[in-house]
Amino acid sequence: MSALLRAHHALKDARLDGGRVQGAQLERITNALNEVWRYGPYILRINPRPGATRLQREAHLLRTLPPEVRAPRAVATGAASWGEWMVAMCIPGRELSRVWRGLRRVERKRSITELAGCLEALHHVPATGEAPGGDEDSPHPLPVARLARLLDAAAALPGIEAGPIAAAREKLRSSADALDPNPTTLVHGDLHLENVLADEPGSVSGLLDFEWCRAGSPDLDLDVLLHSLADPALHVESGDGGALQRRDFDEVVSWLRAAYPALFEHPRLPERLWIYRLAYEVRSLIAEPPRPGAAGGSLPPHHPYQRIVRLIEGRSDLSWFVGA
CATH of the domain at 206: 3.90.1200
Residue 237's pLDDT is what?
Answer: 55
The boundaries of the domain holding residue 127 are 94-138+179-322
Regarding pTM above 0.85, the answer is yes
How many domains does the chain fold into? 2
Q: Is 161 contained in some domain?
A: no
Residue 67: what pLDDT?
A: 97
Q: How would residue 159 be classed by pLDDT, with cut points 50, 70 and 90?
A: confident
Whole-number Å distance between alpha carbons of 296 and 303: 9
The Cα–Cα gap between 190 and 97 comes to: 14
More confident residue, 233 or 238: 233
Q: Are residue 80 and residue 125 in the same domain, yes or no?
A: no
For the ranges 210-224, 229-243, 310-324, the lowest mean pLDDT is seen at: 229-243
The answer to whether residues 282 and 220 belong to one domain is yes
Are 196 and 212 found together in one domain?
yes
The closest alpha carbon to 129, from 184, 85, 87, belongs to 184
Separation between Cα atoms, residue 144 and residue 133, nearest integer Å: 16
Residues 106/108/110/112 CA torsion (nearest 10 deg): -150
